[in-house]
Structure 1
Amino acid sequence: MTDQPVLLFLHGVGAGDPDDVWKDVLDARLREIGYPGLGGVTVIAPKYPNSLVASDDRHPLPGITVKEPSGEEARRNRLEFDRRESAIENLLEKHERGSDWLLGEPLTDVALRAKVFAQATNYLRKPQVRANVLTRVLGEVPASGRVVIIGHSLGSVVAADVLRRLPRGVRVVGMVSIGSPLSSASFHVDGLRDGLRQPPTNLDWWVSFWNPLDPVTTHRGVSSAFPWMTDYRVRTTVNHKVHDAVTYLADARVALVVGHALHGSQSKELATVMKGLDVPVDATETLMLLALRYAYLTEVKLQGAVKERYACARREVQANAVAALMDRRTQDDRPVPAAVASLALDLTDPHSPVPEPGRISPVSKDEAVLPLISVMTANVIRPFEIDVDETVRVEALEDLTIEMGLGRQYARDLIDAGVAVREALSGSTNWVRWTALGLGAAALVAATGGLALAAAPGVAGAAAITSALAAFGPGGMIGGLLTAGVLVGTGGGGVVLGLTSPGTTAEAVEAVVSTQLTAAILRQRQELEQDFATWATLAEAGRALRREQAHLAVISDPSAPSLKELERKLRTVDRALAYLTAVGLGPGEPDGPSVSPAAILERATDAFRSVDIDGDGAPDPRRARTAADDARSAVSAFLRRKRVSTEEDADPLRGP
């Protein structure tokens, strides 16, 4: 095989573009966007308009050369294909399938009866015509090598039909369909859809471009028929050439995909590694690096199919997380730390290696409590979900704490504390349920309008969370980890409001309370200083829940869902307080608070009082109010950016 792929262009109905105008348009557009063009590319553009009409040729239908895989081979093929297809999705940013057009199928049936579409009708309904066209195309395809296919209109049907009939030595490194009618059942000749239920083993990826103004596409992409491939919408002005191949090939996105298939990735992400400076990482980056290292240590202990899937998930999560952190640094006009930049990878290249997250620098046992609990209880490959054996999780956590200079016993104490707390609160030790923490933390922030952030340890803590919310939103791996990490170890009125709010589910309350207790038990076992605000927070939450329960019970039905939810929240809080007392962490207990409950409550609500922080003689705004305002602004900014990003359909190659 040669390194340079051959370009195979399959035309639609009509004369087949005898002057190859499509080639000139594509060549010019490739050069405009920075690719070498088609000068050094072997282009094959078979002309078969005569074969689409009456012909004396009597070729047999070419046979299937690429068999459909089954069993383990099918699973592995799909996994590898999805990885390559994801690279194209990252290149184009978003998949757009389109919506079913109510009149699409009836109009397609009518159109196929029209004289102008006689060639298409012949291909679909006359086996001899189909056999002649496929033979004509295959006669010009090399016996081996790498091929990129562009199929326009009926040519996309021919491309899909010829895929499994190509010589065994040919590898299709990319297929691009433009203006394709394959979403219509009328174009699935001889069970084509059934034959392509799964991606063929000789295909790297397939992307189809459709235009909402193009009647041939019936206002949707091809993934409605082949859900394993990617659709992308292009837009043009209203004119009589919206279906022409040159119109599609003049689009920057179409040229970008073709150029990527022919010449490789244009990404400059890896070059950024050289620009990473030896500057400190901030709180958000530290937590992300910890999560990525834990994910890596988990992956190396897995085996077989689970390891393959986990590796694919970790690859995408790492790339997206690092890119998001680097973008935030760039927007803030701050240099990117080398520890972050060195983990960047090019998702548009499915073969790019995944840099190994480095070992975490040693930290004190006290500093490690909150981040380790956050990482241990989170899904560090979110949004993917893969069930990992608990033994693997435990061993990976032990390796992590050893690397951090904390020792294996620290991990064991952390795990034992978590299991004991979960059992005390709900009778369950299931680790998977702990992943509700991130959602629970986000729920508390939303339910209190940001007041839950007021109890963040110091101004830096609240500022770090606000920054994360503005950049990543309250969910996701990064925003969720940081928000949850702070809420695990803080108390105060903001958290009380969150725990008692109707907008916070009982499951979220259980997740947050259980992790706060886990932190307390871990500190006890490691003989670390306790954060006694936890007791005051839970005690005040219990009182608030009982007041609300008494108020609603007078009027509501006894079986009202709101009362059931309150009962579950109250049961969690009561069990938590009882457990703290049982293990000696309640007021008056040997390891419990040495100050009065009133003093504890005063400390817990400090953020809600006006205090002269800067020493200018005037009380500064309450930290709770400031944190809430900042959080609301951050979330609003994130949602505005997300909404604008969804609505925009700008050229991705256009400068700012």
Structure 2
Amino acid sequence: MERPSVIVGIHGLANKPPVDEKTRWWRDAIAEGLARNEGVDGVAFTFAFVYWADLRYETPLASDDLAEPYRPQATSDPLPAEEDAPRLTGQDVLATLYAGIDRIEALTGVTLVDDVILEHRFDDLWHYHGERAFAAEVRTRLSERLAAFRDHRILLVAHSMGSVIAYDVLRQLERDAPDLRVDHLITVGSPLGLAKVKMKIASEFGATRVPNNLKHWTNLADGNDIATVTGTLAEDYAPSDTGVAIADHRVVNDYRRPTGEANHHKSYGYLRTPEFSRIASGFLETGAVGRRR
């Protein structure tokens, strides 16, 4: 008998709306992408969300005051795909510059540039690396959720700092629960290419490589997303022992705030990209569980 499928999501840095609302918005963004990009309406899928903002923030963001809520795309036009992504952005120039900085930081062990980036732009990640108790609690939430679905086919979706947490948990599970497998990891807006992050991984787990409990790893990055300043991840993470390598894709994150201002890092925009929808549709076998237009 084929195992049931589940999509497990984990959010990124900063405070969030209440868990129920954040969970619903992630699910809605995924469903919107499936309908728009794959022509699948009313798709039914099991979705589990790993929420950890409450471990850092006493009170969730009030729904009425949110600057960046989830809203479906206003138009019915097709969402921009990888082939629509600009070939050269200001971010690409920064990535080229950062590549040289990355090599220097890796050789010297001095990460002044990364320290500034993490402390002032990725404050939660800074604390994750510095506060062991906090890191342990966050990791436990994800590892327990994955263990609860160990008899399922798992599509793990990790946004921003959530991708660092997901990577660390997968490497832990290699050791602690080697029979637990994740069918596909999708990282979106990931800072896993930062030298400081890679050095932390190397100090705890050894070589930076694809975890051996993964069957597939796809990395989606918008060229204007500051978190992906390092560019692709495949050059930074060697294939797993079984030859699984990272598939990098340049995508278009179309999210805009209610004011009209773009945020190329926002999770909802990534979750409705055609590239994400294609993977989710194939994983869920939506021809059997949804209605194609």
CA distance in 2, matches of 1:155, 1:252: 21
In structure 2, the residue matched to 1:6 is 6
State the 1:117 CA deviation: 2.9
State the 1:119 CA deviation: 1.4
Cα distance change on mapping 1:258 and 1:196 into 2, 3 Å: farther
Alignment partner of 2:265: what SS? Answer: coil
- Name the aligned partner's letter for residue 172 of structure 1: V
In structure 2, the residue matched to 1:171 is 181
In structure 2, the residue matched to 1:416 is none
In structure 2, the residue matched to 1:43 is 47
Alignment partner of 1:26: what SS? Answer: helix
Give the 5 Å matches for 1:538-553.
none
CA distance in 1, matches of 2:209, 2:270: 27
Paired residues of 1:211 and 1:219 also in contact (CA < 8 A)? no
TM-score, reference length from structure 2: 0.66
CA distance in 2, matches of 1:241, 1:8: 23
State the 1:31 CA deviation: 2.0
Q: Which runs of 5+ in 2 are unaligned?
A: 59-81, 102-111, 239-244, 289-293
In structure 1, the residue matched to 2:252 is 235
In structure 2, the residue matched to 1:559 is none
Which of 150, 156, 160 matches 1:153?
160
CA distance in 1, matches of 2:196, 2:249: 22
Number of residues of Structure 1 aligned to a counterpart in Structure 2: 225
Give the 5 Å matches for 1:489-500.
none
Give CA-to-partner distance per residue, 1:25-80, whole Å, 9 cap, x none: 111111223365784322111211132469xxxxxxxxxxxxxxxxxxxxxxxxxx
CA distance in 2, matches of 1:138, 1:168: 12
Cα distance change on mapping 1:151 and 1:38 into 2, 3 Å: farther
CA distance in 2, matches of 1:34, 1:213: 25
Paired residues of 2:8 and 2:49 also in contact (CA < 8 A)? yes
CA distance in 2, matches of 1:38, 1:12: 27
CA distance in 2, matches of 1:179, 1:153: 5
Paired residues of 2:217 and 2:246 also in contact (CA < 8 A)? yes
Alignment partner of 1:23: what SS? Answer: helix
**Greater RCO, CA 8 A, separation 6+:** 2
Please provide the CA RMSD for this pair: 3.2
CA distance in 2, matches of 1:164, 1:222: 17
CA distance in 2, matches of 1:202, 1:173: 8
Give CA-to-partner distance per residue, 1:218-272, whole Å, 9 cap, x none: 0502223114311110135694411000111121112212222332899xxxxxx
- Name the aligned partner's letter for residue 225 of structure 2: D
Give CA-to-partner distance per residue, 1:158-207, whole Å, 9 cap, x none: 11111133444432111100000001112233427954544333211101
In structure 2, the residue matched to 1:203 is 214
Alignment partner of 1:170: what SS? Answer: coil
Paired residues of 1:183 and 1:225 also in contact (CA < 8 A)? yes
Bigger radius of gyration: 1
CA distance in 2, matches of 1:29, 1:183: 27
- Name the aligned partner's letter for residue 223 of structure 2: P
Paired residues of 2:34 and 2:272 also in contact (CA < 8 A)? no
State yes or no: 1:224 paired with 2:224. Answer: no
In structure 2, the residue matched to 1:184 is 194
Identity %: 23
Cα distance change on mapping 1:264 and 1:193 into 2, 3 Å: farther
Cα distance change on mapping 1:137 and 1:240 into 2, 3 Å: same
Q: Which runs of 5+ in 1 are unaligned?
A: 55-91, 267-656
Alignment partner of 1:247: what SS? Answer: helix
Give the 5 Å matches for 1:423-502.
none
CA distance in 1, matches of 2:163, 2:231: 15
Paired residues of 2:38 and 2:277 also in contact (CA < 8 A)? no
Paired residues of 2:118 and 2:125 also in contact (CA < 8 A)? yes
Paired residues of 1:179 and 1:217 also in contact (CA < 8 A)? yes
- Name the aligned partner's letter for residue 158 of structure 1: I
Give CA-to-partner distance per residue, 1:89-111, whole Å, 9 cap, x none: xxx89xx9x78331476654313
Cα distance change on mapping 1:41 and 1:35 into 2, 3 Å: farther
Which of 31, 36, 54 matches 2:35?
31
In structure 2, the residue matched to 1:379 is none
CA distance in 2, matches of 1:193, 1:208: 22
CA distance in 2, matches of 1:259, 1:245: 18
Paired residues of 2:168 and 2:201 also in contact (CA < 8 A)? no
Cα distance change on mapping 1:224 and 1:109 into 2, 3 Å: farther
Paired residues of 1:16 and 1:48 also in contact (CA < 8 A)? no
Alignment partner of 1:7: what SS? Answer: strand
In structure 2, the residue matched to 1:586 is none
Cα distance change on mapping 1:265 and 1:25 into 2, 3 Å: same
CA distance in 1, matches of 2:13, 2:186: 17
Which of 250, 258, 269 matches 2:272?
250
Paired residues of 1:172 and 1:204 also in contact (CA < 8 A)? yes
Cα distance change on mapping 1:236 and 1:134 into 2, 3 Å: closer
Cα distance change on mapping 1:10 and 1:236 into 2, 3 Å: closer
Give the 5 Å matches for 1:314-325.
none
Paired residues of 1:7 and 1:42 also in contact (CA < 8 A)? yes
Q: Which has the higher helix share?
A: 1
CA distance in 1, matches of 2:279, 2:155: 11
CA distance in 1, matches of 2:37, 2:116: 40
- Name the aligned partner's letter for residue 9 of structure 2: F
- Name the aligned partner's letter for residue 44 of structure 1: A
CA distance in 2, matches of 1:38, 1:204: 28
State the 1:121 CA deviation: 0.8
Cα distance change on mapping 1:153 and 1:226 into 2, 3 Å: same
Q: Which has the higher strand share?
A: 2
In structure 2, the residue matched to 1:117 is 122
Paired residues of 1:178 and 1:210 also in contact (CA < 8 A)? yes
CA distance in 2, matches of 1:192, 1:42: 36
Paired residues of 1:13 and 1:117 also in contact (CA < 8 A)? yes
